[in-house]
C-alpha cells in the first residue's frame, strides 16, 4: 500500500504546497482524535473521478475505542455513500450528522463531524471525525474534551488549524491524557484535569488553580501570552527541583480572534534525566577515546626515542613501521573523540573521516618528494563501529605503505602521473574497499596467499579474523608495463560474535 503522501500526490493530485499542508495536518492531528474520543480521517476526491473519495490517512484516539478494526487508508467511497463528506467538500462548511453503524455494531450509532480542509484558500479535502455514541452520560472530563475538539474542528473548517510552520517539541507534543488546563480569553483557568493537577503539584503548586492565571500560580506565563498574541501554539518547559513539565498552549480562534485556549501538560522529568545521563555518558566515552589517543601518541614518542638509539637500520625501519601502525589506531580514536554529528554514538564514525588523515599520514611520512604520488578517495563507507574501523585503518595503512614501497620503482612514471585510488562501495550489508594503483603491477610469480612479509601478513590476519571478510589482490588493466595492482576487501558492516558457547538450558 502506498504511503499517505504518495496517495495524496498520485491519487488525489495534490501539488507541492497542498502536500506540505497535508503533512502539517497529520503531524499534529492526534489531538483532534484524542479530544474527539474517536477516529479522525482525511479524505480527498480522486483526480480521475471527483465523485470518488479516498482515505489518505487516519489516526485513532488513545482516549476511546476505534471504529476501525482494519487500516482504512486507501479505502475509496463514492460520494453518495459518504454524503456528509461530499457536502463538506463542495460547500466548504462544517457538517454534522448521526449515523447508524453497520452489523458489527448492533444498535450502535456514531456522531460524524466533517470539516473542509483548506490549503492556500482552496478546499483540498475533508477532515472527518467519527465517534461512537454510548448510552451512558459522559463525564465532565469527556465533555470538556469534546467541546475542545469541536472548537478545533471549526478552526480546521476556517483554515486556522493546524497552525502554520509549527514543529514538534524535543520530547514530542504533550498528549491530552498527560494533563489539560482550559483557559478563557483573559488567560484565567476554568478547568483542570486530574493529571494536570498532579503535574502542578510536582512543581510545588498546591493551591486550586481554578479562576487563576498561570503567573498567579508562580509560573512564567510568557508562553500563554505569546500564543495569544501570535495566534499559534507555543511550547515552554518549566523546571523546578529536578521536575520538568512541558507546557503547550493552543489558542482557540473564531473568525481570526482569540476566544480562549487550552494548555497540555506533560511531565518530562524522566526524559530530561535520561538525556543528561546520555550526555554525560557520551562525554565520558569521548574523553576515553581522547585519552587513548594521547596514550598511543606517547607510545609513538617512546618508540621514536628508542629508534634513535638503535644502530641497526633494520631495527630503525621496524620501529618506524610500528609507529605508523600505532598512528593509524590513534587516528581512529581521535576521529571518534571529535565526532559531534547528530547520529554519533561515541562508538562509531564515518570511516571517510578516518581514511583522509590516514592518507595524509602516508603522504607526509613515506613518499619521496622526487617520486610524488597522487592519492584519491572515492565513495562513502558510512559509519563504522570501533571494532570495524580500527582493524580496517591498520589494513588500509599497510596497503598504502605497500603501494608506496613497491608500485612505483625509480624511473617509472605512468601516463598521467603516479596515482593511487581508495574507493568505498556498499552492497546490502557489506562494505567493499578497493585500493588500486597505476604502477608496475605485482610480479608474475606473486601469490598473496604465500606472502610472508609482516605487512601483508597483518592485512590477511585482520581481514579474515577481525573483519570476518575476504581479500583479493591482482593486476589491473593498464598499459603494458603499467598494469597496476588492485586489492579488494569485502566484509560485513555489522559486528556479530563469531564465538558462541553451548546453549543454556
Query: Which of 105, 99, 90 is CA-nearest to residue 43?
Result: 90
Residue pLDDT, tens place only, 77-92: 999 999 999 999 999 9
**165-194 average pLDDT score:** 81
Query: Which of 151, 108, 107 is CA-nearest to residue 129?
Result: 151
233 SS3 class: coil
End-to-end CA distance of the chain, in Å? 43
Tabulate helix, strand, coil % of the chain (nearest 5): 40, 25, 35
Query: Which of 328, 327, 366, 334 is CA-nearest to residue 349?
Result: 334
Contact status, residue 43 vs residue 125, Cβ threshold 8 Å: yes
Length of the chain: 505
- CATH (one of 3.30.450.280, 3.40.50.2300, 3.40.50.970, 3.40.50.12500) for 4-158: 3.30.450.280
Beta strands in 283-397 (DSSP E): 348-350, 374-378, 383-385
- Measured CA to CA, the distance from residue 128 to residue 5 in angstroms comes to 18
Residue pLDDT, tens place only, 443-471: 777 777 677 778 888 888 888 888 888 98
Cα torsion angle, 6, 8, 101, 139, sign:
positive
Contact status, residue 140 vs residue 190, Cβ threshold 8 Å: no
Residue pLDDT, tens place only, 272-318: 777 777 666 667 777 777 788 888 888 888 888 888 888 888 888 88
DSSP assignments along 146-204, one per residue: HHHHHHHHHHHHHT--SPTT----TT-PPPGGG-EEEEETTSBEEEE-HHHHHHHHHTT
332: which 3 cell numbers? 581512529
**117-126 average pLDDT score:** 94
**205-210 average pLDDT score:** 89
Domain ranges across the chain: 4-158, 176-267, 272-492
- Measured CA to CA, the distance from residue 55 to residue 53 in angstroms comes to 7
Give domain 272-492's CATH architecture.
2-Layer Sandwich (3.30)
**358-374 average pLDDT score:** 76
Q: Provide the pairing of β-strand 243-254 with 374-378.
A: unpaired
**Topology match between the domains 4-158 and 272-492:** no
CATH number of 176-267: 3.30.450.20
Residue matched to cell numbers 581508495: 422
Least reliable range by pLDDT among 21-30, 137-146, 268-277, 395-404: 268-277
Q: For residue 232, what is the DSSP state?
A: S
483: which 3 cell numbers? 598494469
Amino acid at each position: 500500500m502506498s504511503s499517505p503522501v504518495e496517495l495524496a500526490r498520485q491519487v488525489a493530485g495534490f501539488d507541492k504546497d497542498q502536500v506540505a499542508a497535508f503533512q502539517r495536518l497529520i503531524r499534529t492531528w492526534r489531538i483532534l482524535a484524542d479530544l474527539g474520543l474517536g477516529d479522525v480521517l482525511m479524505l480527498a476526491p480522486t483526480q480521475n473521478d471527483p465523485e470518488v473519495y479516498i482515505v489518505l490517512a487516519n489516526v485513532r484516539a488513545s482516549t476511546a475505542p476505534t471504529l476501525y478494526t482494519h487500516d482504512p487508508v486507501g479505502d475509496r467511497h463514492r460520494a453518495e455513500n459518504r454524503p456528509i463528506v461530499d457536502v463538506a467538500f463542495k460547500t466548504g462548511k462544517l457538517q454534522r450528522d448521526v449515523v447508524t453503524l453497520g452489523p458489527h455494531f448492533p444498535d450502535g450509532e456514531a456522531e460524524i463531524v466533517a470539516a473542509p480542509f483548506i490549503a492556500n484558500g482552496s478546499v483540498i479535502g475533508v477532515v472527518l471525525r467519527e465517534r461512537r455514541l454510548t448510552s451512558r452520560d459522559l463525564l465532565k472530563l469527556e465533555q470538556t474534551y469534546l467541546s475542545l475538539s469541536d472548537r478545533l474542528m471549526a478552526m480546521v473548517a476556517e483554515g486556522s488549524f493546524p497552525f502554520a510552520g509549527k514543529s514538534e517539541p524535543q520530547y514530542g507534543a504533550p498528549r491530552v491524557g498527560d494533563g489539560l488546563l482550559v483557559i478563557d480569553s483573559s488567560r484565567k483557568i476554568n478547568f483542570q484535569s486530574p493529571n494536570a493537577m498532579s503535574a502542578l503539584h510536582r512543581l510545588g503548586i498546591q493551591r486550586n488553580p481554578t479562576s487563576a492565571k498561570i503567573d498567579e500560580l508562580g509560573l512564567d506565563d510568557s508562553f500563554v501570552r505569546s500564543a495569544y498574541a501570535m495566534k499559534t501554539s507555543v511550547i515552554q518547559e518549566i523546571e523546578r527541583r529536578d521536575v520538568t513539565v512541558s507546557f503547550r498552549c493552543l489558542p482557540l480562534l473564531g473568525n481570526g480572534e482569540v476566544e480562549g485556549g487550552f494548555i497540555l501538560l506533560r511531565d518530562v522529568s524522566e526524559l530530561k534525566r535520561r538525556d543528561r545521563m546520555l550526555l554525560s555518558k557520551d562525554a565520558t566515552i569521548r574523553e576515553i577515546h581522547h585519552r587513548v589517543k594521547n596514550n598511543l601518541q606517547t607510545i609513538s614518542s617512546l618508540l621514536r626515542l628508542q629508534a634513535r638509539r638503535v644502530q641497526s637500520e633494520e631495527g630503525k625501519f621496524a620501529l618506524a613501521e610500528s609507529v605508523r601502525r600505532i598512528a593509524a589506531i590513534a587516528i581512529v580514536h581521535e576521529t571518534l573523540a571529535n565526532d559531534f554529528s547528530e547520529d554519533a554514538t561515541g562508538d562509531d564514525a564515518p570511516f571517510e573521516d578516518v581514511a583522509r588523515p590516514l592518507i595524509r599520514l602516508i603522504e607526509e611520512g613515506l613518499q619521496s618528494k622526487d617520486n610524488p604520488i597522487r592519492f584519491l578517495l572515492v565513495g562513502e563507507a558510512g559509519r563504522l563501529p570501533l571494532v570495524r574501523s580500527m582493524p580496517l585503518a591498520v589494513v588500509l595503512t599497510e596497503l598504502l605503505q605497500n603501494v608506496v614501497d613497491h608500485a612505483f620503482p625509480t624511473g617509472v612514471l605512468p601516463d598521467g602521473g603516479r596515482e593511487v585510488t581508495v574507493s568505498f562501495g556498499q552492497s546490502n550489508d557489506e562494505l567493499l574497499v578497493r585500493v588500486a594503483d597505476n604502477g608496475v603491477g605485482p610480479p608474475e610469480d606473486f601469490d598473496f596467499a604465500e606472502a610472508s612479509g609482516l605487512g601483508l601478513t597483518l592485512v590477511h590476519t585482520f581481514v579474515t579474523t577481525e573483519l570476518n571478510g575476504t581479500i583479493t589482490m591482482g593486476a589491473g588493466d593498464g598499459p603494458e608495463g603499467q598494469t597496476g595492482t588492485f586489492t579488494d576487501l569485502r566484509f560485513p558492516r555489522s559486528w556479530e560474535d563469531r564465538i558462541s558457547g553451548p546453549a543454556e538450558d
